[in-house]
Chains A and B, each alone.
Chain A
Amino acid sequence: MGEVLVVTSGKGGVGKTTTTANLGTSLAMSGNKVALVDADIGLRNLDVVMGLENRIVYDLVDVVEGFCRLKQALIKDKRMESLYLLPAAQTKDKTAVTPDQMRGLCQELRGEFDFVLIDSPAGIEQGFRNAVAGADKAIIVTTPEVAAVRDADRIIGLLEAANMRSPHLIINRMRPSMVRRGDMMDIEDMLEILAVDLLGVVPEDEQIVISTNRGEPAVLSHSSKAGEAYRDITRRLQGEVVPIQPLALDGGIFQRLRKIMGFGQN
């Protein structure tokens, strides 16, 4: 039986979809059978980030309404043999699905896959409730911003109320240089408020913009720093102990060198 993980955040734009795409791809790269589920009905994006937009025939709503079988709606990834996507419907909205239907869907997927990753919509309304309904565990994505951390805290509270304890936290778009100057919340600050397990820290990386636009997850590229962080997170998800990269924690040697050389103000 596979594990169902929901990727959620409360706030929009912190990188839920990017995280789902990268973790899913990376889990598949390490030999797991993985299903990605886009629960953001009406505003689907995961297919675009995965570069699978032009292969969609059926979607999640078609499956829960019985228009097609689950197997028909699952799109096989173009690079990875063991990676599948269940796209969201674009012409419907969040009310097209109920939490019970999502639970049933997750149950069915769990039998087929090692990991099921659900990409949650932003917000705390029905879309969020649908996304978390069938999940065993939650991965909370936040960025080092006060508003994002506040929303993450709200989400953790809601998950606790729904009896989903001990979520994992991913801090996305960290900029070590800004933290060093005291212009950005540091990891300690965030963990003190959220008091949950840290699964990983993903540095801000321009390559992410390029890779999401091209529909090629960053974990596929070995030059991407964010991709490297996502690969580490994948190993942690599978139970390996991988230290959090010191680079993400404190600026790294380049920053330090630049500072010494006198043009460190960036």
Chain B
Amino acid sequence: MKKVDKETLTGIFYEMIKTTSTTIPLDVYESLKKAYESEEKPAAKKQLEAILNDIEIACKRGVPICQDTGTPYVFLELGEDFPVKAGIVDSIKGALRKATQEGYLRPNAVDPFKKKNSGDNTGRYIPWVHYDIVEGDELKVWFMTKGGGSELPSTLIMSTPLEGFRRLKDGVIDTVVKYGPLPCPPLIIGIAVAAGGDIAMSLAKRSLLRPIGQRNEDEEIAKMEVELLNALNKLELGPHGFGGQLTALDVKIDYSHRHPATFAIGIVTSCWATRRSSAIIRPDGSWELTSKHIYCNNGSKHIVG
């Protein structure tokens, strides 16, 4: 049997990056379109119209949806028998370099001390890669390009356990109110409760991968997601701060078991242009997208993935 190698992986990751940058996930598109159709406030409707126009132009011309093509986050579920292991990050870096050269990504990796842009979206700890090693021989990949403007409001609250859920709810409302139009609403909010600050932020970020409308399997958590989503949409911040019914597209909550004395709350915001994709790669190098996107070919729109 043919075995997947680093070069093949680079090609697959390159295709994934292209898809992530130029076509919006179907769940995000459909939520925006639904909001556009029912929005009555003219300024908010105008913003949603511009957003939908932008999405269509990007997919028709195969260009990035937003000029801030984000920071690359990669989440891997690596089967222990998958042929390539240590070389995976090299392959991702190769794909990022090529995608930058081809204009699918803007160079966004800056050395904070030397103030130098690496020019190719790779650098120290960039891409940020999270691994889970699992049984099996396949590689599952989730790719997210996370915009910088919508990263600014991200908040960590180190609460005591007794105040935990109160501070979580207040924290979500306060974060969205404080930053207003800056993170490009309508937003997706990722939240996590965890033992430590690092775990909370990481799980909150990862929760953004869950498609819009897909609730947490735990009933109690699902109820809180809906409660917070409804509360945020009563703010009337609306698309880019111009009012109307849609401030948040969704709220996602995740958790780790916590220490008896800690209640870390991570809150991460993502813009309307939430860009993510996922794929499954088999040991022979065959692969497919497992996320759905809108995709335009010769002017006609259809769904891939």
The answer to whether A and B interact is no
Interface residues in chain A, defined as those with a beta carbon under 8 Å from any beta carbon in chain B: none
Interface residues in chain B, defined as those with a beta carbon under 8 Å from any beta carbon in chain A: none
